[in-house]
Each structure stands twice: as structure tokens, then as C-alpha cells.
Amino acid sequence: MSKEFFPNVPKIKYEGPESDNPFAFKFYDPDKKVAGKTMREHLRFSVAYWHTMTGDGSDPFGVGVNIRPWLSITDKMEQAKARMHALFEVLDKLDIDFFCFHDRDIAPEGETLRESHRNLDEIVSLAKQLMGEHKVDLLWGTACLFQHPRFTHGAATSCNADIFAYAAGQVKKAMEVTKELGGHNYVFWGGREGYDTIWNTDMKLELDNMARFLEMAADYAKKIGFNGQLLVEPKPKEPTAHQYDYDVGNILAFLLGYGLADRFRINIEQNHAILAGHTFQHEIRLARQNGMLGSLDANQGDYLLGWDTDQMTTSIPEAVAVMYEVLHTDGLAPGGMNFDAKLRRGSFEPDDIFLGHIAAMDTYARGLEIAARMKDAGTVDTFVADRYSSWKSGIGAEIVAGKHDFDSLEKYILDKAPIEITSGRREWVEAEINRFI
Ligand code: XLS
Ligand code: NI
Ligand code: NI
């Protein structure tokens, strides 16, 4: 290792639930087998470069507060390089195998797109070298199409066609570098793709343009031989009042409507799910039952606040719900669990980077173990299967097989009485989790 950025922080090891060492895992034991795979294989944790490395702790009411060792370097490119080195120390010490980034998180923006490309290339070649040395993979890359003033009215959905072209040039490059780094996925989060008031908006043109943009992106991925998954990330609001990629249901309708559904999958984030008025579990379930589950932005929102706080997950019931859904799929790969999570503004010391990730990793490890035990016991799955048993035989099976219409169903039911229904047992089923905690 070159320079050490976090000399106070040791390599984080599993010490078990009895340990009171803050710099140890209590539940995440990477090589422990759960439900046939190691925790590491199930969870595929990833560090989000923007929150963990680039984020400064500022909020709409206050300036940056984070203490970060690389901030003393004034040259922008030198600072970017130091920060990239620091990432690998974070990954090594936390034993995390993946990271994710936006182009502008890792390299400073230049005067022109050409200069930005050049800056990016320089940092990407450093990242590539470090990835090889540290055996780390890129979960996904993406482009920041929301920070610079040019994107005030959106990128692919801007009213200005030159901005659409700029976004195309920027995403083209971001896809190339994602491929260069062997990225497993590429993410499209519609930064400012939406509107603040429909009165000044040509919504039809904007949505058509968003589809044109995604189609060009998918074509370009094919052209350069990028084989990773292409993922769209839903979010209902913020920064715009109405984001077009509202939720999983809206993205599905959009992709199906524009004939793009077989080219994209979905990257789902907990905080965005709850902002849309859904649970994370609902969004994951809807995506997976449509074959669209791509990857997860593993964070948690504050139920008291109406914005995207992107907190580290510490809620066990949340984690159990996520892992229960994941265990009912073939797993997340090539997706993973990206900690799209930032430390609270009050947690501004460098050590908090580690404590925050340990908290979330332990929470998901517990979620995984609890969900695996629940799935093994099978009480919930059996209850749900029994609840729908009328669809397995008789009239239910016939309806499913397409053997009925309104005439035949009326005839079947006309004189049948009484029809019995049974309890949904909501309280029992929700409390089943508690038995396995
Ligand atoms: C912001 C999004 C963003 C995406 C990547 O709300 O979550 O961080 O994950 O652009
Ligand atoms: Ni996200
Ligand atoms: Ni978020």
C-alpha cells in the first residue's frame, strides 16, 4: 500500500455478536455459508463512490463538514488520484469486493467535454491498475447528468437539443469506461429527467426523447460489446417534483410502451421506494415477478422526512424483507447491494466511513440469516400457498387454464351458497419474522 489514509482503522474482521469492538463485524462473516452460498456471494456489497469518497456532508442548509485526508491536496487531479487510492484502502479494510461511481465523482469536470473525457481517462487508468492489484470489481458505472448548470432542465429530457447531444456524448464515454473497467452493470438514474411544473413542459416530447436516448444507449452498448446489464433506477421525486422514472411500475410501463423492456432491468433503492409510497419489498417483488430485478441500492430512508436521506441500513425488519425476496430468486448477480448511502452530517470523521459500512453490512448479514431460516421453516410460504389453494384445482385451475368466460362462470356460481372465505392472518404472518430474529 502506498500512503495509508486511515491509520486508526484496522482491517475489519468478524468477531461475533459478543464483541464490543466497534471496528469488527458482529454478524457479517464473509465466508460463512448460508442457504448454500457464502455471505459474500449472496450479498455482493458495493461502496458508492459519490457518498463515501466524494460527498462532503453538505446539505441544503449548510456547507461541507466531512474531514477527509485527501482534501488538503489542492490540485484537483492530484486530489482525485489520492481519493481513488483511498477507496481501495476502504474496500480492503472492509473486505468489500465492489464499488460504483458516476464519471464526475472520480474525475473533475473540464472546460469542455473533451477535457472532461481526458481527466476521466487518467483516473480510470489508475482505477484499473488498483482494481487489478486489490482484486476489486466494478458493480456499475454511471454518468452524472444533474450537477452541472447545463442540466438544469434535464439531460435527455431537456428542452434544449444541444443538451441532449451533450448527455449522449457524456454517457457514451461513461459506458466506454465502464466497459474498460469490466463493469457488471451500467445504471441510468434520471437525475433531472422530470418536470417541476407541467405548464411549461412538453411531456410527450420529453418522454419520447428519454426513450430515444435509452435506445441509443442500448445500441451503443451492443456496438462496443458491453455485456453488462443496463439498469434504470426509479425515483418518484427530487430533484424534480415529478421524476419520469417514478417507480418500478412506471418504468415497466415505459419500457414496454417503447419496446425497450428486453434491453433493460431495474436498480431499486429503498429510499426511493418509500418516497413513491411503496415498501422496498413491494418494488423488489414487482421487479422480480416481471423478470426485471437487476440490482439494489441498499439504503434506508427516514420515515419522518419526505426526502431522500440515503441512510445506512440499520433496520433488521427491512433487511429481512429484502433478503427474503432475494432468496426467492437465483440471487442478485450480476447485480449486487450497493451502499447508496451517506453518513449523517453529524458523522463527519473519517472513521465514520467504516462504522457506517459495518453497521449496514451487519444488518444485511442478519437479514440474510433470518430470511434463510424463515424460508427453511417455510411457514410463510406454506401459508401463502394454502391461501391460494383454490387456484390449484377445480374451478380455479380451470380459470387459469383459460377454460372459462363470464357465461360459464355465472352458470357455475349462480346457485352456490354460502361461499366461505378464510382469514388473511396479517398479524400472525407479520410477526413470523420475530420468531427467527
Ligand atoms: C440518487 C440516486 C443516485 C443513483 C446513481 O438519488 O440514488 O445516487 O443511484 O445515479
Ligand atoms: Ni441510487
Ligand atoms: Ni436515494
d(CA 379, CA 434) in angstroms, rounded, equals: 13
* Residues paired with residue 34 on neighbouring β-strands, in sequence order: 37
Q: What is the mean pLDDT of the chain?
A: 97
Q: Dump pLDDT digits (tens) for 77-106.
A: 999 999 999 999 999 999 999 999 999 999
pLDDT, position 1: 47
Give, using CA atoms, the residue closest to atom 8 of ligand 1: 340
Strand residue runs (E) in 184-254: 185-189, 194-195, 229-233, 242-243
State the closest ligand 1 atom to the C-alpha of 308, by its place in the atom list counted from 1: 6
Q: Is this prediction's pTM over 0.85? A: yes
**Phi and psi torsions of 309, nearest 5°:** -80, -20
Torsion of CA 194, 200, 205, 210, to 10 degrees: -20
Q: Dump pLDDT digits (tens) for 291-307.
A: 999 999 999 999 999 89
Q: Dump pLDDT digits (tens) for 361-417.
A: 999 999 999 999 999 999 999 999 999 999 999 999 999 999 999 999 999 999 999
User: Given ligand 1 and candidates 147, 232, 269, 295, which is best to mutate, with the most ligand atoms within 8 Å of its CB?
Assistant: 269
State the closest ligand 1 atom to the C-alpha of 50, by its place in the atom list counted from 1: 8
